[in-house]
Amino acid sequence: MSVYVYAITKDSHPLDLGDAKGVGDPPGELRTVRGASLCAVVSDCPDDLSVARRDLQAHQDVQERLWSEGTALPLSFGFVAADEEAVRGVLEERAQLYAQRLDELAGRSEFNVKGVLDEDTVVRAVLEENTQARELNRRTLEGGGTYDDRLALGQLVAQEVQGRQDALAEEVLAGLRPLTEAEKVAPPSQQYFVSASFLVEDDRAEEFGRAGQELAERYGEGVELRMRGPLPPYSFV
């Protein structure tokens, strides 16, 4: 029977899973596949595995429980092997690589930072602070002005908003980078002006959290920084 794989650990990990349950309905019973020096935490893979909240949450709960007890390599959701022998074969084949990565991640956790900019707030700021935008807006109020005026206003506002988003993103990254070991930064999107994952030493986790809070308080209305962590290092495996 195929098995669902959650994470890889060294054989020295306590592997105390308590009452944690695996994916599926009913939830799968967790067990350990052991190689010479590494272990994998697995359960039977359900036939109806899907990207549903139930299974995503179970996957995350197992990984966070393992991480709370020691270093683990959290695998992506949906990692399925043919059987336990296939899992054991991978543990043996890649033992040196996995052990090295476990050593590199020991004593470190992941923090996710996302920045949300309220578009209405920033557009108002542009219209108040940019002389050209303010004049074009005055001309086009209530349908006035020419087509070129409306086009120019739209282009100018979009350019100014983008520039402010880029500046904010760089300021957030610059403020947090000195406290981190590594980072993964996603391209800006309509939803987030910054979306980044940071690998942070446990000794600096509290300092990193304070730095994020100070940045969030600095920006005030219209800018929201969302921080999650410490988490297993999903982005750095």
Based on the fold, state whether residues 113 and 52 are members of the same structural domain. Answer: no
Residues 229, 117, single domain; the answer is yes
Say yes or no: 165 and 59 in one domain.
Answer: no
Q: Angle at Cα 49 formed by Cα 45 and Cα 52, nearest 5°?
A: 140
pLDDT at 145: 67
If asked whether residues 124 and 232 sit together in one domain, one would say: yes
Same domain assignment for residues 90 and 18: yes
- Provide the pLDDT for residue 144: 66
Q: What is the 3-state secondary structure (H, E, C) of 138-199?
A: HHHHHHCCCHHHHHHHHHHHHHHHHHHHHHHHHHHHHHHHHHCCEEEECCCCCCCCEEEEEE
Q: Are residues 100 and 191 in the same domain?
A: no
* Residues 7, 123 share a domain: no
* pLDDT the model gives residue 184: 95
Q: What is the pTM of this model?
A: 0.80
Output the six-digit token pair for 166: 């880029």
Same domain, yes or no, for 216 and 128?
A: yes
The C-alpha angle with vertex 142 and arms to 141 and 143, in degrees rounded to 5, equals 95
Per-position pLDDT tens, the chain of length 237: 799 999 999 999 999 887 888 998 888 899 999 998 999 999 998 887 877 788 899 999 999 999 989 999 999 898 999 999 999 999 999 999 999 999 999 999 999 999 988 877 777 776 676 667 666 667 677 666 667 767 776 776 777 777 888 888 999 999 999 999 999 999 878 789 999 999 999 999 999 999 999 998 888 778 889 999 899 998 998
- Token pair for 44: 């039977």
Q: Do both 117 and 226 map to the same domain?
A: yes
**The two structure tokens encoding residue 27:** 């939830």
User: Looking at residue 165, what is its pLDDT?
Assistant: 84
Picking from 91, 106, 121, the residue at the C-terminal end of a domain is 106
Last residue of a domain, one of 106, 137, 159: 106
Residue 42 and residue 116 in one domain: no
Structural domain boundaries, residue 19 = 3-106
- Where a domain ends, among 49, 71, 106? 106
99 with 114, same domain: the answer is no
